[in-house]
A and B are shown apart, each in its own frame.
Chain A
Amino acid sequence: MSVLFATGGPRVARGGLAGWLAGLSTGGRAAVIAVEVFVVLLLWQLIVGYWGIINPVFFPPPLAIAQGFAEIVANGSLAANAAVSAQAWLTGFTIAVIVGIPVGLLMGASLPVDKVVGPIAWTIYATPAIAYQPLAKAWFGFGIGPVIFLVVISALFPIMLNIAAGMRTTSPSLLRAARVYGGSQLDLYRRVFLPSTVPFLFAGLRQAVVLATIGMVVAELSGSSSGMGALIIRAANTYQTDQAFAAIGVVVCWSVGMTGLVTLIERRVAPWTRKARR
């Protein structure tokens, strides 16, 4: 969102509408955006719902999606599938955090570990997690196992590699200063490495949330009988696209909500980082 409210950037003469927008207060901007969202939803409803320019089966209008949402809430399929997905996501993410943080710290602390684990981790990370999905399916069966596996694979590397990068990019002058003042090895870790690595940790966690959600959906879409992905594909295959869109909306809310939660935690435990100050 930093770009959205950025006042910097190329300084060009702003007249008319641009000038007016730039002069708005935060509340005014929010109001303009709210009006805009409303207009877009209204147009969408009119174009698809009333004038029928696009086939509503392929791209259901907002009111139909709301109705689809009510349907999946009423018949209980949303609650059941969301519970399965949330369980797989949380389990996988916890494993990724528990494994990723220590390995990342180790990579940051020891050059040999970094030089050996780093290239392997980057190679696996560069490959989209979906490539590993059929193997997971063959190894862990059709239940929740492959979903957890894919969430772990997706979330592990951003956490690990960001922490390692954070440790590596700790300012050398800070380290020298700490040692000049007689800081012990432990002090160095606690007071210099830790504070400068934490922002990287949270950046990694935010990336991991997004990637884990993608991994979860991918795993559930192809070969799982329960979970949000399974709900989406079942609804789409029976042409109930309004329900499919409603389920997609729920997944989006989950992804956005979890990212927000990470930022909230960051603000509480590490108020000195750039993101937390916003």
Chain B
Amino acid sequence: MTATVSIETLNAPPPRRRRTGPGKWTWLLLAVIAGILLVWEAAVSWLHLVPAAFLPPPTAVLASFLELLVDPEFWQAFAFSMQNLLIGLVLAVVVGVAVGLAVGWSPVLRFTVAPFLWLLYSTPKVALAPLFILVLGLGNESKIALVFLLAVFPIILNTMEGAVTVPASLVNASRVYGVNGLALGWKVILPATLPYSLAGIQRGAALGFTGEVLGEFLGGTGGLGHMLEFAAYQFQMDEAIAMVIVMVIIANLTLTLISVLRKRLAPWYDDRQIMGRS
């Protein structure tokens, strides 16, 4: 029966689905989440199936979360991490888009440089983290460099792919109207590539976040990652889980922000074209 429902919905014209859809499902989702939290709370604090030291109940996690929000130490760590992440990401975006456009546009560069970029892209670069700490020390520099290194390749390769797939008719049309050289890149190639770049930036941001947190795990005295690891190390699980929730919120907010940006800057672009691409 449920299967029939789904097929029916796929066949239904979109407007009808949108009218009856979101509200109902949001309520169902909230109900399920509330149910999970209730079971969790019941299992830990009422039935004592799991020791509270191991998995603190949601109420304890919420209390720690609220405590964190008024803790100046937390905001200091937050500022530290976000500053490194932002600097690294901005560098990665500037370099990534420039290199991606150049390599995507020039057949010679694409032939000579692209294979190396693909190789570096598919390398698990997190493995280089200890070497970065070794070379650049425990301070900000090693984390910024790590964020940059992890974030730059998805941006380069997505931009490259975007630049390659710019419709030839678009380029020819602008040539006819006398747009050439740098102006062509700025007015035609860049806007046409933008949605791809933003998809790359989205992935790059997630990887950069990994770099920042890993850098703080491996060495350093500040930042959210360090705070999280310290809490877990002291077995203050309520604070540790609250920190994880903070990170979940940060990561999801960043991704949402970039999606919104993509919809604003390139509303003609269909998300699904990127999904399912490996």
- Residues in A lying within 8 Å of B, measured CB to CB: 1, 3-4, 6, 8-12, 14, 17-18, 21-22, 29, 32-33, 36, 40, 58, 108-116, 119-120, 123-124, 126-135, 137-139, 162, 165-166, 168-170, 172, 175-176, 185, 188-189, 199-200, 202-203, 206-207, 210, 213-214, 217-218, 221-222, 228-229, 232-233, 236-237, 239, 241, 244, 247-248, 251-252, 255-256, 259, 275
Contact = CB atoms under 8 A, between A and B. Distances in A.
A255 B235 contact: no
A130 B210 contact: yes
Interface string B116-146: 1010001110111111011100000000000
B244 A18 contact: no
Contacts of A127: 247-248, 251-252
Contact of B5 (A110, A172, A255): A110
B114 A203 contact: no
B131 A236 contact: yes
A139 B53 CA distance: 10
B111 A32 contact: yes
Contacts of A228: 127
A135 B214 contact: no
Task: Please report whether the interface of chain A is mostly helix, strand, loop or mixed according to DSSP.
Answer: helix
Given A21-B108, A128-B213, A3 B5 contact: no
B209 interface: yes
Most buried by A among B3, B124, B237, B248: B124
Task: Please report whether the interface of chain B is mostly helix, strand, loop or mixed according to DSSP.
Answer: helix
B214 A221 contact: yes
Closest 9 CB pairs of A and B: A134-B232, A236-B130, A203-B278, A115-B25, A110-B2, A131-B247, A128-B210, A127-B251, A18-B107
B92 interface: no
B131 A172 contact: no
A221 B126 contact: yes
Contacts of A8: 164-165
B28 interface: yes
